[in-house]
Amino acid sequence: MKRIFIDPSKCDGCKNCSVACMEAHRRDGGSGVCTLDLTDPANVSRNRIVTDGRGGYDPIFCRHCDVPDCAGACMSGALKKNQTTGLVEYDEEKCAACFMCVMSCRYGVPAVSADRKRMIKCDFCVHLEEGPACVRACPKKAIEVREV
Amino acid sequence: MERFVIIGAGAAGITAAQTLRELRPDDLITVLSTDERVHSRCMLHKYLGHERDAQGINFVDADFFEKNDITHIPGETVKRIDTAAKMVYFGESYSLPYDKLLIATGAGFFIPPIPHFREAPNVFGFRDLSDALAIDEAFGRGKRVFIVGSGLVGLDAASALCERGAEITIAEMAPRVMPLQTDDYAASVYQKAFEAHGCRFLLGIGASDAVVDGEGNITEVILSTGEHVPCDFIIMAAGVRPRIQIALDSGIAAERAITVDEYLRTSAPAVFAAGDCTGLSGVWPDAMDQGKYAAWNMIGIAERYPKPYPFKNTSNFFGITMLSVGRLDLTEGAEILAHRTPTEYRKAILTDGKLTGYLQLGNISNTGLYLYLVRNGVDLSGRKERIFDLSFADFYGINEKNGEFAYKV
């Protein structure tokens, strides 16, 4: 399976990864970051860059954990660990918006959609042939896809 | 080849079955369930609200049993276990041998000893799909609903039925709604939302008696205040009790719940128990976890089940979302920090520098770490000022080997 590896020492907090994530998951039909509304709560990034308080940055990305807290808490069957790809997959249709996944992720990764109807989490950009948009957008190679 | 039998098809039973299948591709696995269909009780309100059908509240794929080569015997309640002969008995005259058995019978709703309530045919629980079906049918005959209890189950039922035009009265013994998950302010937010949808609350009031018709149906609930409330039927949401009858009838040790050791073994050899029937916790994630540990222990991977942190929950009614963890009442020596804006409310309770309770109402995105901080008693005395701004960055660590995160505390 693949995982996005993080080297926080290389991150300079430019947040290109966040913008790329928002762009890759926008639902307004538009394309290109110039037309992306960064202030619309519907365009939320699935990754976050947080300052470490010492001048550096800590990228917080879904780890698609080997033993995922989120899927272990899901009462609707919407979140599942795919044993072949290693990804923690989310089925929006099945989700009942109870948000026990949000409560259970010890790293605080899952978010709630602006309309409170679904959870928001990294999907590894499975809809993009070239792989996760965040990784391609990082100018510092602070994040990269590696085989685990 | 070993024969595994699981009694119950809820969170614990299904998770155990799936875990067993992953680890034992060739063994025989049978699931017996009183329930006709696998369903998530946390989604019953979606069924009752006519948002989803029975398949829509199934938490596994429709072909789960076929795909995993697991035999499912639905609609059958196990009557007795012969722990010496290793045999379970069900139906008129059926029996099934096992090498390892898991009891995952869950918990059933509880009816307090109020006159007429235990006998009346129009008093329902709201735990299983069969309860939801019965309520749905009763709702076709009359729309005045009396709900006893304003916990998550009571409010789930209320939210489903008020959208369908019910006239709902909810009686709560405590002075506020969802007393276990809220404080006064958070409770008032939910109370107003339900009232705006036509629900009426009676707080600090219990049902003490009833008026019945010729068939024993309750037509009026008599409150502790003496007031009479006419109703067409009643939903009991005043707590649950672990289902232990099968243990009692089979000589397996049980008190309020089925007694298990840290490996989830019961007093009988080769018999394990998991989920609500063990009384260890009453929330879905913990039941799944217990199902997994029970499965491991059933096949000899000795894994101690870590005691769960039972006081945790999330709620979502009318799009108002809330996270509540730990104890929210003020105990001696505790310190309260709160933050409120028109759309958000956060409250942290610190005891000796450690977070012992946490409540967040509004957007609850990224709040999972607060459960971790409470459960693990992380010292936050130096971070009090930033308590509502904490993120994993405050404890950031990476497992270099596999790239996963790891807490640094």
Going from N- to C-terminal start, the domains of chain A cover 1-61+122-148, 64-114
Collect all residues of chain B within an 8 Å Cβ-Cβ radius of residue A3: 402-404
A112: closest chain B residue by CA: B365
CATH number of A1-61+122-148: 3.30.70.20
- Bridge partner residues of B350 (DSSP): B335, B355
Asked if residues A66 and A87 have their Cβ atoms less than 8 Å apart, the reply is no
Residue contact B392–A108, C-beta within 8 A: yes
- Token pair, residue B248, equals 């009692």
Q: How far apart are CA B56 and CA B340, in angstroms?
A: 37
* Residues B128 and B168 reside in one and the same domain: yes
Counting one residue from A and one from B, how many pairs have CB atoms under 8 Å apart? 135
State the average pLDDT for chain A. Answer: 96
Supply the DSSP string of A39-106, one letter for each residue: T-TTS--SSEEEE-SSS-EEEE-----SS-TTGGG-SSS-EEE-TTT--EEE-TTT-----HHHHH-T
In a domain, B405, yes or no: no
pLDDT in tens, chain B (409 residues): 999 999 999 999 999 999 999 999 999 999 999 999 999 999 999 999 999 999 999 999 999 999 999 999 999 999 999 999 999 999 988 999 999 999 999 999 999 999 999 999 999 999 999 999 999 999 999 999 999 999 999 999 999 999 899 999 999 999 999 999 999 999 999 999 999 999 999 999 999 999 999 999 999 999 999 999 999 999 999 999 999 999 999 999 999 999 999 999 999 999 999 999 999 999 999 999 999 999 999 999 999 999 888 799 999 999 999 999 998 877 888 999 999 998 999 999 999 999 999 999 999 999 999 999 999 999 999 999 999 999 999 999 999 999 999 999 8
Please list the residues that pair with A141 across neighbouring strands.
none
CATH number, domain at B332?
3.30.390.30
DSSP state at residue B387: G
Whether B68 maps to a domain, the answer reads yes
Quote the pLDDT of residue B329.
79
Q: Is the fold of A1-61+122-148 the same as that of A64-114?
A: yes
pLDDT band at A144 (very low <50, low <70, confident <90, very high): very high
Same domain, B246 and B104: yes
- Is B38 an interface residue toward A (CB < 8 Å)? no
- Tell me which DSSP letter residue B392 carries: G
For residue A97, the model assigns a pLDDT of 97
Which pLDDT value is given to residue B330?
A: 78
CA separation for the pair A77, A96 (Å, rounded): 9
Q: How far apart are CA A144 and CA A83, in angstroms?
A: 21
Residue in A with minimal Cα distance to B53? A94
Chain B residues inside the 8 Å CB shell of A120: 365
**Which amino acid would we find at residue B125?**
G
**Binding-face residues of A in 111-140 toward B, CB within 8 A:** 111-112, 115-117, 120
Final residue before a domain boundary, out of B298, B332, B367:
B298
Q: Which residues of A touch B43 (CB under 8 A)?
A: 75-76, 96
From A60, A75, A116, residue closest to B59, measured CB to CB? A75
Q: In terms of domains, do B16 and B85 share one?
A: yes
Q: Does B346 touch chain A (CB under 8 A)?
A: no
Number of domains comprising chain B: 3
| DSSP per residue, A3-51 | EEEE-GGG-----HHHHHHHHHT--SS--SGGG--TT-TTS--SSEEEE
> Considering only CA atoms, which of B180, B355, B317 is closest in space to residue B388?
B355
CA-based nearest residue in chain B for residue A7: B398
Co-location of B250 and B227 in the same domain: no
Query: How far is the alpha carbon of A31 from chain B, nearest alpha carbon, in Å?
Result: 26
Confirm whether B305 is domain-assigned: no
* B231 and B255 together in one domain: no
Burial class (CB in 10 A: 0-12, 13-18, 19+), A52: middle
Contacts of B20 (CB under 8 A, 6+ apart): B4, B27, B29, B295, B298, B299
**What CATH number does residue B138 fall under?**
3.50.50.60
Average pLDDT over residues A16-32: 96
Q: Is B238 on the interface with A (CB under 8 A)?
A: no
Q: Is residue B114 part of a domain?
A: no
Q: Quick check: is B42 in a domain?
A: yes
Q: Please state which CATH class domain A64-114 belongs to.
A: alpha beta
Given an 8 Å threshold on Cβ–Cβ distance, is B393 in contact with A52? Answer: yes
Do residues B171 and B202 lie in contact, with contact meaning Cβ atoms separated by under 8 Å? yes
Claim to verify: residue B100 and residue B30 sit in the same structural domain: yes
**According to the model, what pLDDT value does residue B211 have?**
98
pLDDT tens string B52-74: 999 999 999 999 999 999 999 99
Q: Percentage of residues in chain A with pLDDT exceeding 70?
A: 100
Closest chain B CA to residue A57: B393
- Residue at a domain's end among B238, B254, B287: B238
- Segments forming the whole domain that contains residue B262: 3-108+241-298
Which backbone phi and psi does B393 adopt, to 5 degrees? Answer: -60, -25
Give the residue from chain A lying closest to B407, CA to CA.
Answer: A107
Q: Which residue of A has its CA nearest to B316?
A: A98
Is there a single domain that holds both residue B249 and residue B165?
no
Question: Is residue B407 a part of any domain in this protein?
Answer: no
Whether A30 and chain B come into contact, CB under 8 Å, resolves to no
Contact B43 A106 (CB under 8 A): no
Phi and psi for B273 in degrees, rounded to 5? -140, 145
Q: Which residues of B touch A112 (CB under 8 A)?
A: 321, 363-365
Answer whether residue B408 is part of any domain.
no
- Residue of B65, B66, B48 whose CA lies nearest to B57: B48
Alpha-carbon span B223 to A116, nearest angstrom:
37
Residues B128 and B181 in one domain: yes
Whether chain A has a CB inside 8 Å of the CB on B371: the answer is yes
Residues of B with CB below 8 A from A69's CB? 368
**Residue that finishes a domain, picked among B211, B238, B265:** B238
Residues 275-304 (B) with a CB less than 8 A from some CB of A: 283-285, 288-289, 292
Q: Which of A67, A88, A112 to mutate to test the interface with B (most CBs of B within 10 A)?
A: A112
Domain contains B117: no
